[in-house]
Homo-oligomer: A and B are copies of this chain.
Amino acid sequence: MSRDWIKGNAVIGQSGGPTAVINQSLVGVIEGLRSGLQAVGAVESILGMRNGVRGLTRDELVDLGALHQDRLDLLAMTPSAALASTRDKPDSAYCERILQACKRNNVRYFFYIGGNDSSDTCRIVSEMAAADGHEMTCFHVPKTVDNDLVRNDHTPGFPSAARFVAMACMADFLDNVSLPGIKINVIMGRHAGFLTAASALARRNDRDATTDGPQLIYVPEVAFDIDRFIGEVEEVYARKGRCHIAVSEGIQDKNGQSIGATLIKNAQVDAHGNAQLSGSGALGDQLADLLKSRLTPAGGKAPRVRADTFGYIQRCWPDASVVDRIEARRAGRQAAAFALQGHRSGSVAIVRTGKGYGGEAYASGFERIELADVAAKTRHLPPEFLQGTHDVSQAFLDYCRPLVGELPDFERL
């Protein structure tokens, strides 16, 4: 049974902050197209956008058709975005240029791998193409270490970053036990605290924060109060002679004001109007200075306070979660499969079909959702994943643990 496929080229782009598995999704789309729409004759060339839609508008396209499967396999295991990425957030005029580039290059199948801004770009381009009468299938493939896409159980990129955060906090907690003091680790996540919450996996066997660290976890979803923070650190430090803290770069006060932006003078502001939080140790250093000055007893010695900012390596660390590798690849293939089924637009969402705890094996599948259902929306840590002002719940640990793969056990004397 043959169908009247729109014949033309397919284009794939990568957008936003890269991850350890975003190339898995790129390769997944290529594989899905090769065995699907290209095999049935609908897709002629498979093209890659250089630097996402920015390159597309300039016709900076790479032919991905000649890549041997061996090279694709190595590319999939390579962290970061092989096509290069962009932080551009297109407005209508920009999307119009994207559409013109698609028409110019006879693009009939458009795949964009990215977060919520990218799904919104995909939505606008899809609507513009329809209004223009340019028949073009548009699919969004999810990607973000922040895990903040709605309608997804979790997003490709998050499990690997969570794995890094858990291992880093485990190692650094033991370092803090060895040379005691107050230690702050600043973790990515401008709006959602999932990645910072994953620091709780550093504790062994779901034991609580009274045994293993981090003892205090601060996420953007819980209003950050500087005086309460200092009191909580003081309490742990008085009891244990040390304190291990995980802080999201996105912590905010009860009015939604970013603590980082407030503390950091001269913060750089990017094209989206966001203060620069990553790629600088400023927030951690400011919090450390605050603790030093506020916790020094009158006439006494300042406590040893140190801050590390995990920085960009947390999103691209090469030891990716196995679950993440597999799901990111499948998400890309699935987008191509939905297009083969005749869907004209959509986003691929991960659905958990096996819990991965309580005796039930972990399993996941995919569903097609409308672009408008995910575009430009932000998912936050739900209340049931939080516990008190500075911890996560058992429900979060149950949710997160199956995603990150095996973590090293450790022993203490």
State the A residues within 8 Å of B (CB): 14, 17-18, 20, 48, 62, 71, 74-75, 77-87, 167-168, 170-172, 174-175, 177-180, 183, 268, 276, 278-282, 284-285, 288, 302, 305-313, 315-319, 408-413
Q: In the bound complex, do residue A413 and residue B62 qualify as a contact, i.e. CB atoms below 8 Å apart?
A: yes
B-side contacts of A276, CB under 8 Å: 306
Complex CA gap A383/B75 in Å reads 37
Closest 3 CB pairs of A and B: A281-B281, A279-B306, A308-B311
Q: In the bound complex, do residue A80 and residue B174 qualify as a contact, i.e. CB atoms below 8 Å apart?
A: yes
Q: In the bound complex, do residue B278 and residue A285 qualify as a contact, i.e. CB atoms below 8 Å apart?
A: no
Given contacts A279-B308, A315-B175, contact A411 B170 (CB under 8 A): no
Q: In the bound complex, do residue A171 and residue B318 qualify as a contact, i.e. CB atoms below 8 Å apart?
A: yes
Partner of A412, one of B78, B278, B313: B78
Given contacts A281-B281, A306-B279, contact A84 B313 (CB under 8 A): no
Q: In the bound complex, do residue A175 and residue B411 qualify as a contact, i.e. CB atoms below 8 Å apart?
A: no
Given contacts A168-B313, A178-B84, A281-B285, contact A78 B318 (CB under 8 A): no
Q: In the bound complex, do residue B306 and residue A281 qualify as a contact, i.e. CB atoms below 8 Å apart?
A: no
A53 to chain B, nearest CB (A): 14
Given contacts A82-B413, A413-B83, contact A282 B285 (CB under 8 A): yes
Given contacts A78-B174, A179-B18, A282-B281, contact A306 B312 (CB under 8 A): yes
B-side contacts of A71, CB under 8 Å: 411
Q: In the bound complex, do residue B285 and residue A170 qualify as a contact, i.e. CB atoms below 8 Å apart?
A: no
Given contacts A284-B281, A285-B280, A318-B167, contact A172 B313 (CB under 8 A): yes
